[in-house]
C-alpha cells in the first residue's frame, strides 16, 4: 500500500492539555483503565514483563499497571507533566512516538490507549507502528484501544460539539476536550480505511479483537521467526 508523504503531526493546544490534566478527567480515566487492560490481555501477563505505555499522558495507565504488580514500566509522550517524569515508579521520557528512546527488542508489551487518533497523518501512524514493532521482543504484544469509524462515534462527537446541556464544571471541561478532539478525529475517521489496513495487515499478527459501542480493543503480536524459535 502506498502511503502519503510524511508531514508534521498536529500537537494539542495548551487549552486541551489543561483540560485533559484536570483532576476530574484524570480520575475518570483511571476508573476505566483496569477494564481496558483486562480486555487487551495484559492484566494476565507475567508481572516481570517490560511494558511501555506510549503516549502516556498524565500517567493513569502506568499507575494502574503498577497497582497490578508490574514494575518494569516505561512511559513516552511528546509532552508530560514534571511530576510524572519525577515519579520513581516509572521511567518516563519525552519523545516523538515514531522515534522511541528504547533499544530494539527490549519491550514485552507496548500500549497505545486512546492515542492512535492523535498520531496522524497515516504516514506517521505507519512509522509509529513500525517503531513499536522495533522495540518489541519477538512474541511481544501491542495493545490498541481507540475509535473505529462508526455512526455512533460521529453522532456522539456532534452532540458534544453543540455545547448543549454542558452545565456542570466537569461537563464544560469535557466539552473543551471534545471540541479539539474533533480536529484530530475528523482527519483520523476520514483516513480510517487506510489506518485499519495498517493495523490489520502491517508487521504484526492479530491475537485478539473486540468491538465495543464506541471503541475497539485489539492485541497484536510481533511474529517469532524460525531462526528466533530455534
- The pLDDT of 159-185, averaged and rounded, is 71
C-alpha cell at 32: 476505566
Whether residue 53 is preceded by a cis peptide bond, meaning omega within 30 degrees of 0, is: no
Question: Which phi and psi angles does 136 have, rounded to 5°?
Answer: -80, 145
Domain ranges of the chain: 26-149+190-225
Instruction: Note every long-range contact of 182-185, with CB atoms under 8 Å and residues 24 or more positions apart, other chains counting.
Output: 182/157, 183/10, 184/10, 184/117, 184/118, 184/120, 185/117, 185/147, 185/153, 185/157
Model pLDDT, residue 182 = 84
Tell me how far apart the alpha carbons of residues 114 and 57 are, in angstroms, rounded to a whole number: 10
Residue 14 pLDDT greater than 50, yes or no: yes
Tell me how far apart the alpha carbons of residues 160 and 138 are, in angstroms, rounded to a whole number: 42
Give the pLDDT band (50/70/90) at residue 15: low
pTM of the model: 0.87
Asked if 6 and 128 count as a contact pair (C-beta separation under 8 A), the reply is no
Residue 171 pLDDT greater than 80, yes or no: no
- Other C-beta atoms closer than 10 Å to the C-beta of 196 total 14
Report the CATH number of the 26-149+190-225 domain: 3.40.50.150
Tell me how far apart the alpha carbons of residues 156 and 159 are, in angstroms, rounded to a whole number: 5
Print burial letters for 143-156: b (CB count within 10 Å at least 16), e (below 16).
Answer: bbbbbbebeebeee
Q: Is 176 exposed, middle or buried (0-12, 13-18, 19+ CB in 10 A)?
A: buried
Residue 3 pLDDT greater than 70, yes or no: no
Residue 170 pLDDT greater than 70, yes or no: no
Asked if 144 and 216 count as a contact pair (C-beta separation under 8 A), the reply is yes
Model pLDDT, residue 132 = 98
Residue 135 pLDDT greater than 70, yes or no: yes
- Other C-beta atoms closer than 10 Å to the C-beta of 133 total 19
Model pLDDT, residue 105 = 98
Tell me the pLDDT tens digit for each residue of 43-81: 999 999 999 999 999 999 999 999 999 999 999 999 999
Model pLDDT, residue 173 = 60
Tell me how far apart the alpha carbons of residues 79 and 55 are, in angstroms, rounded to a whole number: 9
Residue 7 pLDDT greater than 70, yes or no: no
- The pLDDT of 200-205, averaged and rounded, is 95
Specify the range with the lowest mean pLDDT, choosing from 75-79, 85-89, 162-166.
162-166
Amino acid at each position: 500500500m502506498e502511503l502519503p508523504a510524511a508531514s508534521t503531526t498536529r500537537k494539542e493546544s495548551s487549552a486541551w492539555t489543561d483540560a485533559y490534566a484536570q483532576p476530574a478527567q484524570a480520575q475518570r480515566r483511571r476508573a476505566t483503565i483496569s477494564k481496558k487492560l483486562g480486555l487487551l490481555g495484559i492484566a494476565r501477563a507475567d508481572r516481570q514483563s517490560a511494558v511501555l505505555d506510549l503516549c502516556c499522558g498524565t500517567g493513569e495507565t502506568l499507575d494502574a499497571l503498577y497497582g497490578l504488580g508490574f514494575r518494569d514500566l516505561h512511559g513516552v509522550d511528546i509532552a508530560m507533566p514534571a511530576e510524572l517524569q519525577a515519579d520513581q515508579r516509572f521511567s518516563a521520557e519525552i519523545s516523538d512516538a515514531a522515534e522511541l528512546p528504547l533499544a530494539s527488542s527490549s519491550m514485552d508489551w507496548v500500549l497505545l490507549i486512546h492515542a492512535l487518533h492523535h498520531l496522524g497523518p497515516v504516514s506517521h501512524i505507519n512509522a509509529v507502528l513500525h517503531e513499536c514493532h522495533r522495540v518489541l521482543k519477538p512474541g511481544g504484544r501491542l495493545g490498541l484501544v481507540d475509535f473505529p469509524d462508526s455512526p455512533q462515534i460521529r453522532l456522539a462527537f456532534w452532540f458534544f460539539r453543540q455545547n448543549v446541556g454542558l452545565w456542570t464544571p466537569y461537563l464544560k471541561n469535557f466539552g473543551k476536550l471534545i471540541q479539539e478532539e474533533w480536529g484530530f478525529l475528523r482527519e483520523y475517521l476520514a483516513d480510517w480505511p487506510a489506518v485499519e489496513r495498517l493495523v490489520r495487515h502491517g508487521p504484526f499478527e492479530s491475537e485478539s479483537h473486540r468491538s465495543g459501542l464506541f471503541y475497539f480493543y485489539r492485541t497484536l503480536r510481533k511474529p517469532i521467526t524460525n531462526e528466533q524459535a530455534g
